[in-house]
Chains A and B, each alone.
Chain A
Amino acid sequence: MAIDDVERLPSKAENELVAELARLALEEAAPEELVLFPETAEEYFQDPQAVLDPERRDEALGFGLDIAMLTPYVLAVATPVIRFLVSTVAEAVGEEAKPLVVRIVRRLFRRSEPPSEAAGEAPAPLSSDQARQVRELAYQRAKGLGLDEDRAALLADAVVGGLIVG
């Protein structure tokens, strides 16, 4: 896999990582939304802005509510987090290991089953500093999307909770 820029992956690869991390975060923050995660993620990746900030339709015959799923916000928050992780991992590994960045980043995700890759490729867990950086990144991103403090903190914690921290 070619990496054009050490901070960025190709879209497809990045989206896969974002989706994976978001799913892990949702398991904590809003597990009930997982049943619709594939459809929602697909719509989000097609047009993130349309999902995050849809055209306000004054539904003449609707109840009047404005209730959004958490999933798009988790995806939006996970994106800069993944980019940060990719950048961090890319700096840490050598040039020859850069094609393995995706796999390495994936191993940072907290899973119920242990990873099956060869031991030589398993990176170190995130340090506390790195975890704090990730959380701050996620929190600021969530706030930037218009979420209130409580929800932004919940999201940020859920994202960090999806990672393995040393």
Chain B
Amino acid sequence: MAASGTLPAAPAPPERPRPDVLAYPSPTTSRFLIFLAALLSAGLWVGTWVHNQLLFEDWFEVVARCEQQALQQTATQPSLEGAIARENASAQCRAAADRRRAAFAVGGAGAAGAAGLVVLYLVPGVIERRRRLRPVVPGLEPASERVAALAGTAGLARPPALMLGTAAQRDGFSYGTPGRYRIALPRAVAVRWRSASLFDPLVRHELAHVAHRDVALAWLARSVWYALAPLLAVPLVVSLLSSDRSILGDYLWRTALLAVVVQLVSSALLRSREHDADLRAARGMGGPEAVAAVVAQVRQPGTAPWYRRLLANHPPPARRLAVLERPELVTEVTFLDGLTAAFLATLTFPLIEQVSVTFLMGSGRSDLAKVAAALLAGPLLGGSVGLGLWRAALVQRVAGGPVRPAPVAAGVAAGFVLGQVASLAQTGTGALGGVTHPPMLAVIALAGLGATVLTAGLGELWADAAPALRRSRTSWMVALAVGSVVFAAVLWAASSLELALDQAGWLVARLWAVTVLASWPTIGAVAALAVAAGWALAASRQGAMTPAWLLERGTSRSWPTSSRVSPAEAVVPAVAGGLVGAGVIIGIRVLTGPLTSDAAKVEHFYTYVWVAAAAGAAMTLTLALLVPRRGVGVGALAGPLASLMVAVGLLAVSTARGGGLDAAFVTSTVRFPLALGLILAVLVAPAGLLAWHQEQRLARIWPAAAALSLVAVLAVVGGRDALTRNESIPIPDGGDREQALALAEVTQYAATATQVQQRYSAVETAVAAIAADQTIDGPARAARIRAEVLVPLRALLSDAEAYQPPTPNIRSVHLAAVASLRSMTAAFETLAAAYETDDAAAFAAAQAKLDEGRRHASAWQAGLANLLAAAGMAVQGATGTTGKPGTATGDTSGPAPTTTLASAPPTELTSNARAEASATAPDSVDDTGNPVSYDAANVLDGDPSTAWRVKGSGRGAVVAVRLPAPARITQVGLIPGYAKTDPVSGKDRFGENRRIRAVRWHFSDGTIIGQRFRDQPTIQQIAVEVTASWVLVEVVATVPGDPDHDYTPISDISITGAT
């Protein structure tokens, strides 16, 4: 007690630490990048749209033709190979047309960028003129000097010039272009340059904008509609001026959605930049008090509805004061942040991919276009959502309070779906939700949710380890990298999966999951995330102090790490789960015994891949549910560890059974489950939200990890039929079930084609009636064409375009029908105009379009005939007639579903032909000991009990048949095996040897046609229309018979036609 008798003063409470939220790049920076991406995306969008409006017919015709060619070249390749080869062949063929489309897209983006630059550089002059701004008058030089002094303390090498407006100006603002910034102050403030309570805070606020380089971009965001509105109006104007307005409605709603997102982003960044400037000004003044005093003078807005608040360009003063008091409030990552970033990333992805493809054309690696698009779109999300979540995790450790990833995760999920739905690529297709497989929308949404939660979980781990970092830059650069990697991987995988599904459905998609998915970028992503998680686990320590770079003010305190996870808590569960998975694999191997066929070996291998991946995903799920907040991040390390353990177990078993350990096998065994495990982990990561806010956690995780791993791998084993069944292996096994399915699909399409023909016949009837009417003049004839021909023809075209072909082969054939109907529609539109204007050139153009339509119709006929023949259906003949109205007779034209047969009776052309083969099996003996030869000539002797054969699967083996003279060939066929029953033993050689499932017929005129076969020892033929002097039969696929008779035979070849 003091001598005076008074109590000693109570110790002052420790100053509440004030986190430096600007240690990370501010949210405004991310939003600016998203805004610029939005502007350029709008340009890509408009450019592509203009192309579609002006040149879609030409482009579509090229696409249809190239699809046909690609189908002919690759029709009978195994499923996944065929899908990839068909896509590559088609892409090569239409490269020029795609380049032109890409040029339009890039041009649109360039126009958007140029418009933005024009606005950016024009705005300062416009502002100065409209607001009558001028430099300070003599007598106010001290004000300029004070601004310069404050600029120096703010770190600006070049102070902005001080400008004054009229007496009516009552607010301050900054404007200008880089290097020529200005601050315009109200006169009432400028004359009070001595006032440290008014002048300094206001000027420091404006200087903060200049220092952050957000002035020019902010004015661009403020004025974006001067650039964007004209751009978005171009397709609208083009559409209104053209006769085709069928997709105008489609364009309008997508544009409206894009416009809303752009406005939301623009308003959000203008609001957040004010907080940034307030905080920077406060930091420069040693505390928020002075700035808060000025903010308190800001006029209060009235109460606005929630949607007006979203569109406000200024945060309300109460919010600004709250943020000045508690800066951590500005680190919240909102639903809107997730929605806008994800929407733009998804919308932009196919546009970037389309442009990238043109640059990669010819390199054979056009598949890298998706990688390029992912590398650009991923950082949009990584730099906004990812960075924001990591910042929030750090700041909340200082300020207290939880991070809430659920809203932003939901926003990302919604943004992914919206971006997919609004994709320009789906305009006018009628595809539900923008995808041909609507369940993909749910997968996309789940992936968005999971990627966000995974990023947030890793952010929590890195927040634990923050004291180990000396500078903030290390922390936020890792945050940016990790977020970008996660979202890029998810975007790439979703796009790649969608392609696989589109090409050939679930069968190819599940094969994709265990092969194509394991690309080196995906493995790189797995490794990067594992390293990030591992480092954070190792670097976090108990008893660490708040890093200095994270504190703006206040004393450093103990860094909260009571809930931190030790490396052992990641490794032990991973080992437990991995051992369970390895044990299951060993069990399967022991129970199934030796695998004799290649197909069985491959099926088992893929099952092991799924087992290892499931074990890894089970780790992520376990940790997500049992370790609040951090568990999902720990799973990024524990999951791959568990998968690796299972892979090691598989390698050990393989080695123990005498299998080799070559590099390719080891690499495949490791790569495939790691990549699949990452995607499965992302899909289960949303479970982390269920436990996010819990505080309790189990002391030991490994029992639950082992149990869940066991459940997961057993589920995989139990469901392996759906995941890895033999039919998924790319050797068409045929069999009755597959044949029946193919037959059903083709039958259905044949019925559709018949309907098309019937409806077109009605159009032809109308055309003939108009042509026969000689009493009407040109304008009247044009009116009848518009009413009686074009109306039903457009309806037919619309229905044909809306038709969803069930298989790629049918889709390729159907494209020709659509192309024909488009050409016919355009032809009759031109014809009607020609009759109205009596323009000879228009008549000629109409005739040219009619001819084009007939060519597409012929291609449709041929394609449909091949489909029917391949499915074993009879080919019927039919003709249709269409004439130019006004002519006495019509020409044969129009789409017809069947081909015509040759008028001359066909004869067998092989009687005097010669056959040669690329390889022949050695002679053998039959069961009585008689020698048997398998020369190529056996295929032409008409005796099914003799055959040519080659050792092994026969893939790639060729039999060439040289005709004595060029002939018009109308039919080809063969017996797809050895149609012999041994006369002594009665053994069926057909079943013993391999049977051919598919061949490719090559003709000397360049035609290539594929054919598939039923498993029957009979001659099976398909119709063709070629003129050739030789024919090659290339074996594409076979099915095995008795392992002791591993030969591929052909008993007879038939070539029918007329010389």
Contacts and interface: CB of A to CB of B under 8 A. Distances in A.
B299 interface: yes
Nearest to A33: B191
Nearest to B184: A62
Contacts of B222: 60-61
A22 to B, nearest CB: 13
A40 B317 CA distance: 30
Interface in B170-210: 170-175, 186-192, 194, 198, 202, 205-206
Given A36-B140, A39-B137, A63 B167 contact: no
B167 A67 contact: no
Contacts of B218: 61
B313 interface: yes
A67 B189 contact: yes
B578 to A, nearest CB: 57
A69 B165 CA distance: 12
Contact of A69 (B187, B194, B198): B187
Given A32-B191, A33-B191, A66 B171 contact: yes
B270 A61 contact: yes
A71 B187 CA distance: 10
B166 interface: yes
Nearest to A64: B298
Interface centre among B169, B187, B218, B270 (most CB of A within 10 A): B187
B206 A66 contact: no
A65 B137 contact: no
B173 A59 contact: yes
Contacts of B175: 61
**Which interface residue of A33, A58, A61, A69 has the most chain B CB atoms within 10 A?**
A61
B990 interface: no
A84 interface: no
B188 A67 contact: yes
A126 interface: no
Contacts of A66: 170-171, 297-299
Contacts of A50: 168
A86 to B, nearest CB: 26
A64 B188 contact: no
A65 B291 CA distance: 12
Contact of A35 (B140, B169, B295): B140
B219 interface: yes
Contact of A71 (B166, B167, B205): B167
Contacts of B8: none
A40 to B, nearest CB: 5
Contacts of B198: 67
A64 B140 contact: no
A98 to B, nearest CB: 34
Interface string B288-330: 0000001101110000000000000110010000000000000
Contacts of A61: 173-175, 215, 218-219, 222, 270, 313
Contacts of A71: 167
B202 A63 contact: yes
Nearest to A43: B167
Contacts of B168: 43, 50-51, 54-55
Contact of A67 (B170, B206, B215, B270): B170
A70 B191 CA distance: 11
Contacts of A92: none
A11 B139 CA distance: 29
Given A61-B219, A61-B270, A69 B314 contact: no
Number of chain A interface residues as a range: 20 to 34
A68 interface: yes
B173 A62 contact: yes
B173 A67 contact: no
A44 B169 CA distance: 13
Given A60-B270, A60-B314, A64-B299, A35 B137 contact: yes
Interface in B251-301: 270, 274, 294-295, 297-299
A35 B139 contact: yes
Interface in B854-874: none
A28 to B, nearest CB: 16
Contacts of A33: 187-188, 191
Nearest to B175: A61
B313 A51 contact: no
B171 A64 contact: yes
Given A35-B137, A35-B139, A69-B167, A63 B187 contact: no
Chain B interface: which size bin?
35 or more
A32 B192 contact: yes
A65 B202 contact: yes
A55 B274 CA distance: 23
A162 interface: no
A65 B167 contact: no
A65 B191 contact: no
Contact of A64 (B164, B174, B317): B317
Nearest to B297: A65
Given A32-B191, A35-B140, A65-B297, A59 B171 contact: yes
A72 interface: yes
A62 B298 CA distance: 11
A69 B188 CA distance: 5
Contacts of B192: 32
A61 B216 CA distance: 11
Nearest to A39: B137
Task: Kindly name the residue among A57, A60, A65 whose own CB sees the greatest number of chain B CB atoms within 10 A.
Answer: A65
Q: Which of B139, B191, B198 has the most CB of A within 10 A?
A: B191
B189 A44 contact: no
B296 to A, nearest CB: 11
B1029 to A, nearest CB: 78
Contacts of A54: 168-170
A67 B294 CA distance: 11
Given A32-B191, A68-B188, A62 B172 contact: yes
Contacts of B169: 54
A40 B167 contact: yes
B191 A35 contact: yes
Contact of B298 (A32, A60, A63): A63
Interface string B642-667: 00000000000000000000000000
A57 to B, nearest CB: 8
A10 B166 CA distance: 26
A67 B297 contact: yes
A62 B191 contact: no
A54 B170 CA distance: 9
A43 to B, nearest CB: 5
Nearest to A57: B171
B314 A64 contact: yes
Contacts of A44: 167
Interface string B204-235: 01100000000100110010000000000000
Interface in B128-167: 137, 139-140, 164, 166-167
A136 B274 CA distance: 43
Nearest to A41: B167
Contacts of A60: 222, 270, 313-314
A62 B187 contact: no
Nearest to B270: A60
Contacts of A70: 188
A108 B194 CA distance: 33
A63 B166 contact: no
A51 B188 CA distance: 13
25 contacts: A33-B191, A35-B140, A35-B191, A40-B167, A40-B187, A43-B168, A51-B166, A51-B167, A51-B168, A54-B168, A60-B222, A61-B174, A61-B175, A61-B219, A61-B270, A63-B172, A63-B205, A64-B171, A65-B298, A66-B170, A66-B298, A67-B189, A69-B167, A69-B187, A69-B188
Interface of B: 137, 139-140, 164, 166-175, 186-192, 194, 198, 202, 205-206, 215, 218-219, 222, 270, 274, 294-295, 297-299, 313-314, 317
The 5 closest A-B pairs by CB, nearest first: A54-B168, A64-B298, A62-B171, A35-B139, A62-B173
Given A63-B171, A70-B188, 5 more contacts: A32-B191, A57-B171, A61-B218, A65-B189, A68-B186
